[in-house]
Copies of this chain bind each other. A is one copy, B any other.
Amino acid sequence: MLLCDIGNTSYHFLKDTLDYKESVQSFDPSTLQERVFYICVNPHAKELVKDLENWIDLSGHVEISRYYETMGIDRVFACEAISDGVILDAGSAITVDRVRDGSFEGGFIYPGVQAMAQTYKNISPVLDYSFNFELDLDKMPKNSRDAISYGYLKTLYNEVMEQNMELFLTGGDAQMFAKIFPHAKIDKTLIFKGMKKIMKKAKLC
């Protein structure tokens, strides 16, 4: 049995305790014979898997009224994995969601590292820097690289810290954000934990 979280850039699989990724651009889901329980935010990939009998969509098994209609299903399943805390999922977008006593209290969407670096570069070629995750968040910057790094990271940092709850980091760039959130718990398989919980409730495993 495989679990799969299909995102905008990759198929993220979990087999037993091993997780691995395949690119959405090159991977053909019909090549898999075994049963795959999945969630999917990618409209193109959704088309590819929806008629494959061994690919089972878990999205219908969650009590969606506890969230909101257009909320990404990956965020929903990450929230299902915890009962209290803030989840920062750092992928092509960064989503930050708050859960208290098992209830979703809302969340917001922020650009991912790559998207935001591209944004600064598009505004002006003089802003073409990689972000400095080691910057001093307590000090207003006096150089260009730190000025964009602070703009991207400190603003996010303030809002996350203001929640004053345990912080869970997940997604492909979780490790990077651990540099500015050293107290956080990194869990790259958080969404899979949510999927397993829902599968148990639905008696699918």
Contacts and interface: CB of A to CB of B under 8 A. Distances in A.
Copies in the complex: 2
A70 interface: yes
Contact of A111 (B123, B142, B143, B154): B123
Interface residues of A, number: 51
B159 A70 contact: no
A156 B110 CA distance: 12
A119 interface: yes
Nearest to A98: B140
Nearest to A124: B8
Given A140-B98, A159-B154, A111 B107 contact: no
Interface of A: 8, 41, 43, 67-68, 70-71, 92-96, 98, 104-112, 115-116, 118-120, 122-127, 139-144, 146-148, 150-152, 154-156, 158-159, 162
